[in-house]
Amino acid sequence: MSKITPKEYHSKTEDVVTVRSALIKDAKALVDLQFSVAQEGKYMVTEAEEFNLTKSEEKETIEQHSQQPGQLYLVAEINNTVVGFVEFENGNRRRTSHSGILSIFVGREWRGKGIGSFLLQELLDWAANELLIEKVTLAVFSTNRSAIALYKKFGFQEEGRCPKDMKLASGKYIDSVLMYKFVKKM
């Protein structure tokens, strides 16, 4: 079971932000949030026209994350509205189960208020206490300055770069930056 005890934070604009484990009832809000970020066109591999995630697939993801010891799905909520999430999934083989990859999204109008930091803090606290997990990793577009700043703030380091990893409709290329953080004292 991967679940956390809900925790309250105060955003930079004094909103009460609850970070808690995702529940089945959050599926629609989580699909909508991912679609809205896809529509922005700047941060995701999936383009808005390709976005086909369904509510029932999202429900399965939430269920699976709550049951697997190396997975976690957290939401940030303000006034009962989901405004962001972080999702983490470890490798599914014995040799990779100590390491996993995260995704984090905050709704456009809620960014820059501390919510991404609250989500990442809760994920890293959980990972530090989950025996299985030693390494948290991610991939980010080299153009995503605010996300890279967030990860560096939490001690993530660059472990590699995939040149021209993304090819945009315009013909422009973007590198992906791979980052990692060890969460146990070695």
Ligand X SMILES: CC(C)(COP(=O)(O)OP(=O)(O)OC[C@H]1O[C@@H](n2cnc3c(N)ncnc32)[C@H](O)[C@@H]1OP(=O)(O)O)[C@@H](O)C(=O)NCCC(=O)NCCS
The verdict on 155 binding ligand X (CB under 6 A) reads no
| Nearest approach, Cβ of residue 114 and ligand X (Å) | 4
The verdict on 83 binding ligand X (CB under 6 A) reads no
DSSP reduced 3-state for 161: strand
| Nearest approach, Cβ of residue 182 and ligand X (Å) | 19
Q: Which amino acid is at 19?
A: V
Segment lying near ligand X (by CB under 6 A), choices 2-10, 45-53, 103-111, 162-170: 103-111
**What sign does the CA torsion over 80, 147, 101, 126 have?**
negative
The residue (of 35 and 132) whose beta carbon lies closer to ligand X is 35
Segment lying near ligand X (by CB under 6 A), choices 67-75, 89-97, 138-146, 167-175: 138-146
The verdict on 104 binding ligand X (CB under 6 A) reads yes
What are the DSSP calls for 21-59, one per residue? E--GGGHHHHHHHHHHHHHH-SS-SS-GGG----HHHHH
- 8 A C-beta contact, residue 107 and residue 84: yes
Q: Provide the angle, in degrees to the nearest 10, between the axes of the packed helices 55-67 and 27-40.
A: 110
| Nearest approach, Cβ of residue 1 and ligand X (Å) | 26
> By the criterion CB under 6 A, which residues form the site for ligand X?
37, 43, 104-106, 111-117, 138, 140, 144-147, 149-150, 153
